[in-house]
Amino acid sequence: MWGHMLELTNLSNADCDVENVLQNSADTLPTLLRVHELDGIEFMLCAPWDRVMFPPTYIKGVHLMFWPTWVDFWRGDRAALMEEFGSEENIRRYYGSLDIGDWVAAWKENLRQAAECQPHYIIFHVAHNRTSEMYARKFSLSDESVIRATIELVNEIAREIPQGCRLLFENLWWPGLTFREPHLAEVLLERIDYDNAGFMLDVGHLMNTNFDLRSESDGAAYVAKIYHALGALGKRICGVHLHQSLSGVYTREMIHRHVGESRPLDWRETMDYVRHVDRHEPFRTEAARRIVDTVQPDYLVHEFLHRSRVDLEQKLRTQRFALGIL
């Protein structure tokens, strides 16, 4: 059907995935891939890499680290940092240091770790968000300013990118890469010091930018509209994170409930809000196939929030059935 395409799912080596999905067994991953006819995984390194539990032959992509709030730190905006985090100790805890050089070194180390996995591609989130701006969605930074900061950071660490590996920039619904302004996506690719770069289109994240979507069919139509507006740049989309998120009603409700409010959120509040907005649910209708037919990616990643092996397998079956694969 899509002969050239590799079909993957997301997995990390965080304790929750090792225990709840892999059930602490090295036999689970090859079984999962075989049963669901997948070509491998998109991997996130959250701990030292266990090559027995996660053999490199299964790792096709690596998702890099992500700090949702980072441009203020990169720019040295101490006032914004103190307003967001409240104390130097909280800033140090979030970034691992008060020294920007140490933070850049952490990025470079993450890239060296990714290189050991010998992936086809690596993923870089292009977004910035202060928790104090989440509910009301009145953002202090523009898409352009976040993309320009991303260009600066990537060019600082580009020499550590694994040779022959694609660098794929992922869209979110916060300031940064959203695909709603094609010229900014073009600027991003033009100005980074790395030739083998493109995009990972996250479908759910794109759906989160449109509060009016009410169905999977609406979502597929919106993806097609954004994709065609990209023109030739759409061909630089090498992969798709496939999941759906119909959270516009909730997002609007939270905007109205918190109008004029600007207070930093704690970790629990932040994650509760993000999970309500960014649902990572499987597609259940043929809208999924329409999206893949439109984009024709090299990599299709079934990207879910999964609580257990049973939960992951059910979501894989649901979405693969929607694609017409099962």
The CATH number assigned to the domain holding 48 equals 3.20.20.150
Do the domain assignments include residue 230? yes
Do the domain assignments include residue 279? yes
64 pLDDT band (50/70/90 cuts)?
Answer: very high
Q: What is the DSSP letter of 160?
A: G
Do the domain assignments include residue 1? no
Structure-block tokens of residue 316: 């894989």
| 140-149 pLDDT tens trace | 999 999 999 9
Query: What are φ and ψ of residue 167, in 5° steps?
Result: -100, 115
pTM above 0.95, yes or no: yes
Residue 208 has pLDDT above 70, yes or no: yes
Residue 1 has pLDDT above 70, yes or no: no
Q: What is the DSSP letter of 36?
A: T
249 pLDDT band (50/70/90 cuts)?
Answer: very high
6 half-sphere exposure, CB direction, 13 A CA radius: 19
Structure-block tokens of residue 23: 């059930």
Residues in the chain: 326
Q: Is 192 helix (H, G, I), strand (E, B) or coil?
A: coil
Q: Is 63 helix (H, G, I), strand (E, B) or coil?
A: strand
Q: What is the mean pLDDT of residues 56-79?
A: 97
Q: State residue 67's pLDDT score.
A: 97
Residue 151 has pLDDT above 80, yes or no: yes
Task: Please give the tally of structural domains in the chain.
Answer: 1
Do the domain assignments include residue 78? yes
Q: How far apart are CA 149 and CA 26, in angstroms?
A: 40
Q: State residue 163's pLDDT score.
A: 85
Contacts of 179 (CB under 8 A, 6+ apart): 171, 185, 199, 201, 206, 226, 230
Do the domain assignments include residue 134? yes
Do the domain assignments include residue 298? yes
Do the domain assignments include residue 61? yes
Residue 2 has pLDDT above 70, yes or no: no
| 74-129 pLDDT tens trace | 999 999 999 999 999 999 999 999 999 999 999 999 999 999 999 999 999 999 99
Containing domain of residue 111, as a range? 6-322
Q: State residue 299's pLDDT score.
A: 98
Mean pLDDT estimate for the chain = 97
* Percent of the chain residues past pLDDT 90, beyond the cut: 97
Do the domain assignments include residue 65? yes
Residue 32 has pLDDT above 90, yes or no: yes
Structure-block tokens of residue 166: 């694609």
Element spanning 164, H or E: none
